[in-house]
Structure 1
Amino acid sequence: MVNSDSLFFIYGWIRKSSGSSTALFLTGDAQNMLCMKLAESLGVKIKSPWVVWFKASCFPALASLMLTPFIIYKICPPETKHTIDAPILAKNKLEQMGPVKQNEWIMMGTMLVTVTLWISGGSLSISTVAVAMMGLSILLILGVLSWDDCLSEKTAWDILAWFALLLGMATQLTVLGVVPLLSKSVASFLKSLSVGWHVQLLILQSIYFFIHYFFAGQATHIGALYPAFLSMHLTAKVPGTLSALLLAFNTDLFGALTHYSSGQAAIYYGAGYIKLQDVFKFGVLMAVINLTVWGLIGALWWKILGLY
């Protein structure tokens, strides 16, 4: 039986790692692309978004991935510190799997081509959607995937439908003047505080992060608040690219706040290995770590990159 401290450590490591790893790449999670599409609809157009995203996220994300296990280990050290049987179990599993199969080689090759085109697509005038469809077509034609496999991915179809609705709704809210009106009202209040855009950025990002306690899932949060908050940032004279990226990064990172904050969080909690109060305790801990690592290390890195 694994003790509660060990479970908390494992849960914390995995949850935090998933947040930082999805924030590392533009294609790390579906909502990243949605954020960039919404930003584009508000006039923040980023050339070669995959490259710009990775350059901005790589240093703070990798630093977070390396520091988090150490921080959690110090705060809540697991009782089980040595797993002597783990290498043996891993070796046995690899032997059971056997050598890499043909379909697996095809999958790796297709992913390599797809990611390469995602990176260089901007200079070649190839959209990310076209690249994704090409990759899927290759897998279908070569028999790695079947159409039944695609149809069985109910979550993917659900995301596709919701993203279309959310993107359309956000665009209409902007066109009808709701988002600009809200952003101007908040911007006027922030301006009355007589603080620079750096402080306004900190306030807006913090509100955007912690208000996720009132949302179930990340897609609904994006559809409801991302356009409005990005518009507030722009009204406060925060650089557009920096604003769009930071809001998107926070969207990935606040997925560990609660057991309902993201699809992954619900799955981890549903496994039944961690108590509900520990989930919320962990969420606060992760929020502090996220804001510290990304706020300090990230700010220095983004300054070097010239994002502000």
Structure 2
Amino acid sequence: MQAWQLLAIFLSTNVGLILGPLPIGAWAFLSLTTTILTKTLTFANAFKGFTSEVIWLIVISFFFARGFVKTGLGDRIATYFVKWFGKSALGLSYGLTLGETLVAPAMPSTIARAGGIFLPIIKSTLLLSTGKDKDDPSTKKLGAYLIQSQIQSAGNSSALFLTAAANNLLCLKLAEELGVKIASPWITWFKAASLPAFVSLLATPYILYKIFPPETEETLNAPALAALKLEQMGPVTKNEWVMVGTMLLAVSLWIFGEAIGVASVVAAMLGLSILLLLGVVDWEDCLRDKAAWDTLTWFAILVGLASQLTNLGIVTWLANCVSKFLQSFSLSRLATFGGLHAAYFFIHYIFASQAAHIGALYSSFLAMLMASGVPGVLAALSLAYNASLFGALNHYSSAQAAAYYGAGFVGVPDCFRLGFIMAMINAVIWGGVGTLWWRYLGLF
């Protein structure tokens, strides 16, 4: 009875995440209250998610992202790439893509990268490089191309590094609840993602240039504008150097910390402590970060509910039922792998949040993949990569997509059309190149 009650509460939680009768944090808290009020879970079990190391790593990651924006370091790095590559629309797109990829592993908030760094750079560079106002057709066309390129590239850079998106960390935590423990997670994640992600990152700006071309091919003013902006910024400040050193330390510990007994969350705590002690970030900055505290609330609740469902055997039971159904069609393991991934990807059309989608369906799809014979590590990683990629599916599929769409350069029809086309291209690259690469690595 307890298991079925919890399943009913979990399903109603997910329906609320989709329909949005209340803000996501409020709705999750309502579900948590219901589990305690109905005695489905004890208070201690209901709040277990709040003690998760991964949840706190995600929250601290938001504060790191605030440091990047506050010091101007992220802006400086991106501006250098505009200076070096920005003589043409295609070059400018590649410069922004490389900048985003370089910043991503040390700035684990996709919306902070989009809204705090790259969207302002695109806007300022765009208007001055064309010499025309925002409403001019050629300016809008160039802006639409750059923004679409950035949205699609960000999905791949988020999939490339474990610490490039908070959602990645949530996926690994949910996988761990199902018994999938990944040794050296940062390195394993990067190694498995590297080849398909790099191929997609190289291909995306060029493919979009061909299927969604800007009217203005040359942006000769962009490098000069970037050089002027760097001159106005002046030399690298002390706080920027502190930010560089702290992030190098944190990333190094995220990569190699397991070998010396330093957990990822401890590395993040150490980094944040340094930033607080040296005044790069102050506690008021942390308190004002509503997104971080909201994420703590509803991520922790979703993780806690999913964990208890797993402990009660519901997820495994459902996965076995679906697995037997699929086996009745005599599908190969590869066909099942592809079919479940396609279903997981396109279900995202009904979600307006990557994290809500992951919290609702990641555990069950992971269990189904494992029940169909897919190795646990590959199933966990590939579903997590999938979750980064579907963030570019349309204008509401992720917070960063919504921020870019809000700039007013891309229309809704183009969002859906290009999102679907690039989804098919990513499916070919990640499904083809990725599968061969995973076989080579011994994961499949």
TM-score for both structures, normalised by structure 2: 0.68
Deviation of 1:93 after TM superposition, in Å, equals: 0.2
For structure 1, list consecutive stretches of 5 or more residues without a partner in the other structure.
none
1:52 partnered with 2:188 = yes
Contact 1:117–1:131 under 8 Å retained in 2: yes
SS in 1 for 2:244: helix
Q: In structure 2, what is the equivalent of residue 221 of structure 1?
A: 357
TM-score for both structures, normalised by structure 1: 0.97
Deviation of 1:278 after TM superposition, in Å, equals: 1.3
Q: 2:246 is matched by which residue type in structure 1? A: T
289-298 or 106-115: bigger deviation: 289-298
Q: In structure 2, what is the equivalent of residue 17 of structure 1?
A: 153
Q: Decide which of 325, 336, 344 is 1:189's aligned counterpart.
A: 325
For structure 2, list consecutive stretches of 5 or more residues without a partner in the other structure.
1-135
SS in 1 for 2:413: helix
Determine the C-alpha separation between the residues in 2 that align with 1:140 and 1:64.
37
Determine the C-alpha separation between the residues in 2 that align with 1:141 and 1:134.
11
1:156 partnered with 2:292 = yes
SS in 2 for 1:145: coil
Q: 1:245 is matched by which residue type in structure 2? A: L
Q: 1:138 is matched by which residue type in structure 2? A: I
1:33-82 Cα shifts (integer Å, max 9, x gaps) = 01001101101000110000000111111111100111111112211100
SS in 1 for 2:330: coil
Q: In structure 1, what is the equivalent of residue 163 of structure 2?
A: 27
Q: In structure 2, what is the equivalent of residue 257 of structure 1?
A: 393
Determine the C-alpha separation between the residues in 2 that align with 1:38 and 1:122.
19
Determine the C-alpha separation between the residues in 1 that align with 2:206 and 2:409.
21
1:239-267 Cα shifts (integer Å, max 9, x gaps) = 11100000000000000112221110111
Q: Decide which of 149, 161, 176 is 1:40's aligned counterpart.
A: 176
Q: In structure 2, what is the equivalent of residue 143 of structure 1?
A: 279
Deviation of 1:123 after TM superposition, in Å, equals: 1.4
Q: In structure 2, what is the equivalent of residue 104 of structure 1?
A: 240
Determine the C-alpha separation between the residues in 2 that align with 1:11 and 1:268.
6
Determine the C-alpha separation between the residues in 2 that align with 1:186 and 1:125.
40
1:7 partnered with 2:143 = yes
Tell me how large the CA RMSD over aligned residues is: 1.1
Determine the C-alpha separation between the residues in 2 that align with 1:7 and 1:300.
36
Percent sequence identity over aligned pairs: 55
Determine the C-alpha separation between the residues in 1 that align with 2:443 and 2:313.
28
Deviation of 1:7 after TM superposition, in Å, equals: 3.4
Determine the C-alpha separation between the residues in 1 that align with 2:268 and 2:422.
32
1:246 partnered with 2:382 = yes
Q: In structure 2, what is the equivalent of residue 275 of structure 1?
A: 411
Contact 1:215–1:221 under 8 Å retained in 2: yes
Q: In structure 1, what is the equivalent of residue 428 of structure 2?
A: 292
Between the two proteins, the alignment pairs up a number of residues equal to: 308
Contact 1:183–1:232 under 8 Å retained in 2: yes
Over 6 Å off, 4+ runs = none
Contact 1:174–1:180 under 8 Å retained in 2: yes
Determine the C-alpha separation between the residues in 1 that align with 2:193 and 2:442.
14
Deviation of 1:2 after TM superposition, in Å, equals: 4.6
1:179-220 Cα shifts (integer Å, max 9, x gaps) = 112211210111011122111100101000000011110111
Q: In structure 1, what is the equivalent of residue 268 of structure 2?
A: 132
270-279 or 91-100: bigger deviation: 270-279
226-235 or 145-154: bigger deviation: 145-154
267-276 or 28-37: bigger deviation: 267-276
292-301 or 226-235: bigger deviation: 292-301
